[in-house]
Amino acid sequence: MDSKNFVENFGHIADAPNGGRMLRELILILAFEGKLLPQSEESLGASDVVGKFKKKKQLLVDSNKVTKS
């Protein structure tokens, strides 16, 4: 399901038994798959972002600006 299909079927999903729980789950799934917002070519994946932060943290640890925890 993509965001367009989600919007078109929102009422049906919300009115279903356990609709609120299902909506939360669906929104999380769409968010993790990057389907809620348009993605650009420059968008980084989650593993790229984590790697970038690890490198930045290591630079801060090496320069004694933060402690390694």
Under a CB-based contact definition with an 8 Å cutoff, are residues 1 and 31 in contact? no
Q: Is the dihedral of CA 53, 57, 62, 63 positive or negative?
A: positive
Predicted TM-score (pTM) of the model is 0.45
What is the model's pLDDT at position 63? 93
* Per-state percent for the chain, helix, strand, coil, to nearest 5: 60, 0, 40
Taking the C-alpha atoms of 41, 32, 29 and 39 in order, what is their torsion angle to the nearest 10 degrees?
Answer: -20
pLDDT of residue 10: 81
Amino acid 58: pLDDT: 92
| Residue-by-residue pLDDT tens, the chain, 69 positions | 666 777 788 888 788 898 888 888 888 888 888 777 777 777 777 788 899 999 999 999 999 888 877
